[in-house]
Amino acid sequence: MTLAFAAPTAVTLPLHTVPQDRLAAFLAGAGAGHARWLTATGFEAALGEVRLLPGPDGSVAGAIVGRGTHIARRRQRFGMAKAVAALPALDWHLEGGLDLPERTEAALGWLLAGYRFDRYRPGRKPATLPRLRCPVGVDAARVLAMAEGEFLTRDLINTPALDMGPGELEAAFIALAERFGAKSSVVRGEDLITRNFPMIHAVGRASPRAPRLLEMRWGTSGPRLTLVGKGVCFDTGGLDLKPSSGMQLMKKDMGGAATVMGLAQMIMALTLPLRLRVLIPAVENSVAGNAQRPKDILTSRKGLTVEVNNTDAEGRLVLADALAYACEEEMDALVSMATLTGAARVAVGPDLAPYYCDEPGMVSALEAGAVAGFDPVWRMPFHDAYESVIEPGIADLDNAPGFGFAGSVTAALFLRRFVNTGRYLHFDIYGHVPTDLPARPKGGAGQGARAVLEALPAMLGV
């Protein structure tokens, strides 16, 4: 899918952007014909409401899109992106006195609204969409990189597990590395044992699709940033089998890996001056005679022992080995992303990306980045009082404590035991949009990637 703005030299039509409280003023200056037309068609300037404006010869002379009320804009990101589906496939430019953040949101939303996942509908004619001239002051390269990275994430999550197992995720990972001249390596199957990644192997060994650890390195100078993404390509729950309803969305259980790959693409496309390392434990959590069992005790790469009290709490196991491996090298920031717990969704719903971090500078940078990237996040606590909950007594750690509360917090505390840097940021994302929203169709979605990208200047000085 090729993303582009209209050429700067293209002849474009005006797309007027009008908030509800300015509609009367707009009508007064719109000319009698257009004012009568808008009034007759009941145009109220609701957020995303669109009307085409006819020219004297009956051609399209322009269009108007409502910006709604201030409350409506706070409640819904990318509301004006509804215009993309309503406009003819012509070239457009924005009118209406938008400030730079509003222009940036409009440009990004326009691009994101063009996403289509048609891999399994080969006979469907590709949609021809309207194009927007990049608004004045908007960094076109940055916005394009954000949208293209998000499209990669969406494609990976939306692809069924039949066609997106550990091997296919590896192929996509290597293709991404090769595109940007990054170095990649893979540890597969039984080599995970000899290379000391025992928990990645334990989770994935029951599948005929071998587990693996994917690694990418890019950049030769600047601060060191390491990204770790959970790549559970399908999660049956293992021997603690999920009900069928619980498996319906489990193709998205590699959403952390997909989001990390989308973020890595953004960073490399923008040639940010840093040294990037990406780690993805890619596995399928299946059922077979050699599957890990409840009450098994695993010895992790770090040497900590883990009692497996639920084989469906597998994501933290594979991440633990990857995080321990990441921390064997110096770095300036460590970010992990995972579709880790249902408890996070209960806490904040599907629209927010909950994160954990105790480093004040990283927190402030991320909060500002979330606003700049139109990518909302919500800070959760590494609550030390719950540390004892993840200590079962028979082993160092419990992967699924029977506490009954704070499931996302205890999972984050578990991961923190494998990290030796205070500059650690962990996201417990959902990776899915349950219903169609402006610029975010139902299906796979990245969360937190744009917030991290926009935080990097303050977080790492790049």
Catalytic residues: 242, 316
What is the distance between the alpha carbons of residues 57 and 63, in angstroms, rounded to a whole number?
Answer: 16
Residue 133 DSSP symbol: B
**∠ CA 358-333-348 to the nearest 5 degrees?**
50
What's the rounded Cα separation, in Å, for the pair 378 and 367? Answer: 8
Please give the structure tokens belonging to residue 66: 């409502």
Nearest partner of 27 among 49, 45, 14, judged by Cα: 45
CA 408 to chain centre: 18
Would residue 347 be called left, alpha or beta, if left means φ above 0 and alpha means ψ between -120 and 50 degrees? alpha
DSSP 127: P
User: How many other CB atoms are there within 10 angstroms of residue 427's CB atom?
Assistant: 31
d(CA 433, CA 278): 25
Which tokens in the block code for residue 231? 């790549």
For the chain, counts of helices (H) and of strands (E) = 16, 19
Backbone angles phi, psi at 250, to 5 degrees: -75, -5
- Name the region of 349 (left: φ>0; alpha: ψ -120 to 50; beta: rest): left
Angle at alpha carbon of residue 362, lines to 218 and 341, rounded to 5°:
85
**Short-list 266, 181, 177, CA closest to 214:** 177
How many angstroms separate the CA atoms of 105 and 126, rounded? 25
Taking every pair of C-alpha atoms in the chain, what is the biggest distance, in angstroms? Answer: 82
